[in-house]
Structure 1
Amino acid sequence: MGLTQRIHAFAKLGSFLDQFKTTGYQKVTSLDLNTSFYDKFVQKIESASHYNGWFTKDNMLFAIEQWAAALQQTNLEEWLSRYAIPEVTPKKVGVIMAGNIPLVGFHDFLCVLISGHHIIVKQSSNDAPLLPLISKILIAIDKDFENKIAFTEDRMNDFDAIIATGSNNTARYFEYYFKDVPSIIRKNRNSVAILTGEETPEQLHQLGEDIFRYYGLGCRSVSKLFVPKDYDFDKFFKSIYLYHDIIEGNKYANNYDYNKAVYLMSDFKLLENGFLILKEDTSYSSPIGTLFYEKYDELDELLQQLQADEEKIQCIVGNQDIDKQVKFGQTQTPQLIDYADGVDTIEFLIKIQ
């Protein structure tokens, strides 16, 4: 099974996924895959929130829509043209996936299979329903994938390499348990935004997408703002007001109310607008319904601080010309070349051959 064949299969998968958009379902009657899989896929999307209340239909469709766009033939070819991917005996790669946002482990799934290896998937129970069905669709597209994909709920064994994503605590376990095999071990990361006060209302509105998409649960979700000493938050609050309906979600509202009560009882100084709490805090990771902020004097000093903390940071949103820079509103639309933690997964997979 050559690289061209694998690219073609994932591009066809992308065509199937392209029927499921945030604007609504757009069934293409000419797709043969639809006979076996269209209704099942819709059912998985519609029922996802019953298993995980954070996985709303809108967030499920948003994630699917991003992958449909990424899995275009030209995108896949351009991405992989950067590498010399040899055709050798495949290795077994275990992938331990997080479950914080829908299809969070799909990029690793894609990388392992597109590079010619076999994958053993251990999913989080929080994000279990969709990937097994996608695997069946991929196998229906090309039966050569049938013996290349396995799922397990047990402890990983019989593998040649590991890609594992978890918390800082679980990462220590992963590093010890998988110390004798090639591995990528990912830890907690958060994303931040640097504001100068010169942002347009449109940029601040787009920042709301970076903050609220997936309820802020992704490592690419902005969980902290850096602002000048004299920053006026009124402009920020006005620009993000259109996201106010997020408070209608029970799980989000419960977290918002709980955190607000805890902060008020602790006499913390807060800013809030009825659906988002702003709290001054030096931490990078803020709880649901809360956005931390920190004031800075000199931008150059702040950039030095962020450079020193680079292992804690996934993305930096703003108008500065720096590494990890992402435009306003773009944190949740990464490209194929945007690897988690900045570790090139394809290069890693090539080297284990």
Structure 2
Amino acid sequence: MKRVLQVLVAATTVSAVIAAPAAAAAGPDRSGLQRELDNVVSASAVGALAEVRDGHRLWRGTSGVAEFGTTRDVPVNGRFRAGSVTKTFVATVVLQLVDEGELRLDDTVEKWLPGVVPNGDNITVRHLLNHTSGLYDFKDTLTPPEILAGRWKTWTATEVIQRALAEPPTFEPPGKAFDYSNTNYTLLGEIIEKATGESYGDEVKRRLIEPLHLKGTEMPGTSTRIPGPHPHGYVPTDDGLLDFTEMNPSIFGAGGELISTTADLNRFFTALLDGELLPAHLLDEMKKPAVEGRAYGLGLAWRDTPCGIVYGNDGDSLTYQTWSFSTPDGDHQVTVALTPDFTGDSDDVIDAFLNKAICG
């Protein structure tokens, strides 16, 4: 979806948002974190919220405003669309099914979804999980006007898969290279349903959300609202920022529909990396690079910081951007979510915030 946003931004102009910083803290405020979060908002966002855990110490902060044109503070416990962080949840369910003997990483798409994907005999569950299938990303077939006009549309898995398959593969044979494609996770959602008889959303809820008591997390399906407190999210148009908070998230599907909170995502990644959700050998599989030089495994990403590697994922859901990472031992976690204003590039300021949160 980042590439779709880039097209949107290139085609439109919006006025700068002047951020009014606000903070809410629970526990000691680690020096500099609020300043770095304010820098994120000043550079590229209407509002932002974050939770940082350092051992038994907790810091929560916000900056900017919850709604453009108001002075309303961002709710520190606010919910947001977590985008591709959804993929780590879905990948965890797939690997639990592998652990139970219901699936194998070397199972082919053809085995589970016969006749759906050309060359499905040569594309495996592993290829889908680590984006080495070569299948075209259906998101790249969507134009900005189509996204805006389809705000309330219910997108089916069949529909988006067919859009992707109308385009040639980005490479062949499968496994040769890495190319991020949301189509892979749409197919995984369908495979979960075939293997369990339940939807991928129900399986995520039963296996992850409920056992971990993630009270602010849900797989909304086609529900257009974000329940509970939340900042508003926007897309850029010729007339300025358009409030796009309410929309049908089926366009994201198994690759990106999750709604969550900073506390819940920190809890999820802590549980995952602590071995609460998967046996050690499958967690190790998650951490294996898809191809050499790529910091992405089976639905899990990683990044280098000045004090070492951290694992997690990031997500972009048009109106919200999320980063959630943890040290391998789970002693340091950070989740930050923002509502972009599309006036600048957040990469450098987000890197600074994440490094400060993890390394102090």
- TM-score between the two structures when normalised by the length of structure 2: 0.24
The answer to which structure has the higher helix fraction is 1
Larger radius of gyration: 1
Higher relative contact order (CA 8 A, sep 6+): 2
- TM-score between the two structures when normalised by the length of structure 1: 0.24
